[in-house]
Structure 1
Amino acid sequence: MLTKFAVTNYRGFANRIEWDLSKSANYEFNKTAVKDGIIKNGIIYGPNGSGKTNFGLALFDIENHLSPKWKKPDYYLNFVYAGKKNEIVTFEYTFKFHKTEVEYIYAKNAVGALVEESLFVDKINIFERKRNSFHIDKQQFPMDKNIEQSLKNNANNVSIINFLLTSYPLGSEHYLMKLNRFVNSMLWFRNLDVREFIGLETHVTMLDEFIIANNLLDDFSAFLQSVSEQKFQFAKHHPTDKQILCKIEGYVVPFHLLASTGTRSLQLLYFWIKRMNEASFVFIDEFDAFYHFRLAFEVCKRLFSLDCQMFTSSHNTYLMTNDLLRPDCNFILNNNKIKCLADCTDKELRFGHNIEKIYRAGAFYEE
């Protein structure tokens, strides 16, 4: 699981911003939102322009050089904080795999090339590459001097982790293999003006075709009814059909002509839910942009019941309730800081407290 993340000099974040998921509180409700002391589910709130989208994108920078999965084509546009264009962007990740802690720190320049990289396992430095310097634990990774010199120079900015993964025989439980599996199973997506995603898949999938080809029409219909109380009667389809058709009083109409923006957003969510059994960490940016507030609540309940670490961003404070999560799982991002509600007050927060009302009243401090 991801336990901590920090980024410096990325887009709107001039200074270092850290998100610590290892500091869960001792609440006796909604215990499934925390796993092994690590926050598993959460929602990030914040004013417009506070950086929620950019923070989510920063989390997935690791995908760009460690994973072959789908990338966001324009990711490196406006990559560096505008006031420090000539400085590097630094990313810090801490993972917990069973009892092993893996800390991965690296930096990139304005075009996204790796210029620094280091790895620590249980606080022991495995390797470190800075500008014109490189060292590695040769007991774990014996290495010829020529290869070591090439990695020191590293003119093509290759990731040391990718080099080690492809150059040494490693067991399936090796920390690098676990890190590799986790990163390859991360997923970020959103559905605003355009649908975008990072990770998990290697290609773009047509949603209607996916549902038809996998014989999921009845299941998709039941999903729409359960979360939004919408009833659609789908026509029978051949597995090679390209679009979903609905039956209305003897007529057949394409689903996309009937579906509202919110319903089409639910179709995208349905597709990803079917893939999330393979996911390790998911971040959905403004997942409820087109949802009724009660629908957003029902969707969250379904998402947070999944096994993977699951986080969303939202403006909908109706979701800020102890009926869904806990104060240590609701985060406020503002002024280059991200803090959970439990850390934004000196008062003890209990299950019976209306934390949305407290938040709207301005009782949570964010500094």
Structure 2
Amino acid sequence: MLKKFTVSNYKNFKDEISLDFSKIGEYSFNADSLSMRLIYGRNATGKTNFGRALIDLKTLLYGMFRNDENSVLINANSQEDTAKFIYEFQFGSDEVIYKYSRFENRNLCDEELYMNGEAIFKCDFKNSKFDFQGLSIISAETVNTKRYLNKDEMDNEYVLPFLRWLINNTVFSDDSVLIQLFEYVRKMGIITVSNNRIHLSMFSYRKFFEDLKNPVHLQSFEDFLNLMGIECKLVLQELPDGQAELYFSQNKLVPFYSTASSGTLALTSLYQKIVSNPSLIYIDDFAAFYHYEMAEKLISFFKTKYPKCQFIMTSHNTNLMTNKIMRPDCLFILSSKGTLTALCDETERELREGHNLEKMYISGEFEKYE
């Protein structure tokens, strides 16, 4: 699991900003919220950017496509020429730290991997300096690093991350820490309000329908919508061209995607992301389309169905700022200055279960951290 993430000189975050899952308070209630973080912040504080920075690791290791909206990388007021990313993981008793930095064109400047405090490798692409002395620690001392350093591999137009190359060119056991790391990163995801419809219509649309051809999967999706308060009966039918179409079943069949509300479509997009058992999901502007009771139901659903998944959600919905479903060390404020602080660290009061956190927030208790 992810223990801590730190980024600096990225978009509006000039200084280091971190989210630390291992830093928790001494609260006895809602222990099932410890895998969740709910982030509040005024408009334009960088909540979306923070999510994109966090998911950058998946982009790096899996070569995901980046669209034009992510074209600006380096902080505009900085004199430094790279954005820096640090990921700290815990897999069983092993601690893994992966660091790298990118130039404005997104090419790698450097890359480092540590396991339990020992350096596995260090790559300084800018100065062409490489240290692979620690590969024996992960039983990869026989890997042919000269092949990686070959000019054919080291394309001037694109620097291939050594970690990505190492995984793809080495046989590791299934319980290897690196295999666990790669599998975790593969299952990371991000959901933003602006792209809910895009994901449905362009990326996951057909695959989702293929999955729903299984009656068990279709029933699970229907049960999910009903649990969220959307009473419906779903039917999947195969069209003459072999494609499938989803319908609401009423007195007659009603096409699902052309008639469903924006809230239902947002739930559908969310369901598509979480049904595959993700490792971490960043949900930007969570509850933007949901009534506060539905938003509470979703959080309870996450806790019950996906206890091993880490959820990071941003929101403006202060109804969720409550100890009824969360706790002060899981609720954060992202400031316009680029700081991310837990509510329990934003006041001199000792926050207890009975405190009305929403009322304190609205009254200005935490205003100096916004």
TM-score bracket, shorter-length normalisation: 0.7 to 0.9
Who is 2:33 aligned against? Answer: 33
What does 1:1-367 align with in structure 2 at a 5 Å threshold? 1-34=1-34, 40-67=35-62, 70-74=64-68, 76-84=70-78, 87-130=81-124, 131-132=126-127, 133-137=129-133, 140=136, 141-142=141-142, 146-147=146-147, 150=150, 154=154, 155=156, 156-192=158-194, 194-195=196-197, 204-206=204-206, 209-210=209-210, 212-215=212-215, 216-228=217-229, 230-235=230-235, 237-238=237-238, 242-248=244-250, 250-275=251-276, 277=277, 279-305=278-304, 306=306, 307-334=308-335, 335-364=337-366, 365-366=368-369
C-alpha distance in 2, partners of 1:145/1:236? 51
Deviation at 1:85, TM superposition (A): 7.7
Corresponding residue pairs, total: 352
Structure 2 residue matching 1:6: 3-state secondary structure: strand
Q: 1:360 to 1:267 in 2, by over 3 A?
A: same
2:299 maps to a residue whose letter is C
Deviation at 1:94, TM superposition (A): 0.5
8 A contact 1:72–1:196 mirrored in 2: no
C-alpha distance in 1, partners of 2:159/2:281? 28
Q: Tell me the alpha carbon deviations over residues 105-124 of structure 1, each in whole angstroms, 9 at most, x when there is no partner.
A: 10111111111111111111
- Gaps (5+ residues) in structure 2? none
1:174 maps to a residue whose letter is S
8 A contact 1:280–1:309 mirrored in 2: yes
Deviation at 1:175, TM superposition (A): 2.2
C-alpha distance in 1, partners of 2:324/2:297? 11
2:244 maps to a residue whose letter is K
1:79 maps to a residue whose letter is L
Deviation at 1:214, TM superposition (A): 2.8
Structure 2 residue matching 1:177: 3-state secondary structure: helix
RMSD of aligned Cα (Å) = 2.6
Who is 1:37 aligned against? Answer: none
8 A contact 1:96–1:102 mirrored in 2: yes
TM score, norm. by length of structure 2: 0.86
C-alpha distance in 1, partners of 2:205/2:51? 22
8 A contact 1:95–1:103 mirrored in 2: yes
Structure 2 residue matching 1:303: 3-state secondary structure: helix
Q: 1:147 to 1:33 in 2, by over 3 A?
A: same
Deviation at 1:162, TM superposition (A): 1.6
Q: 1:18 to 1:211 in 2, by over 3 A?
A: same
Moved runs in structure 1, 4+ residues, more than 6 A?
none
1:135 maps to a residue whose letter is D
2:130 maps to a residue whose letter is F
TM score, norm. by length of structure 1: 0.87
- Gaps (5+ residues) in structure 1? 35-39
Structure 2 residue matching 1:245: 3-state secondary structure: strand
Q: 1:50 to 1:135 in 2, by over 3 A?
A: same
8 A contact 1:66–1:159 mirrored in 2: yes
8 A contact 1:86–1:110 mirrored in 2: no
8 A contact 2:238–2:245 mirrored in 1: no
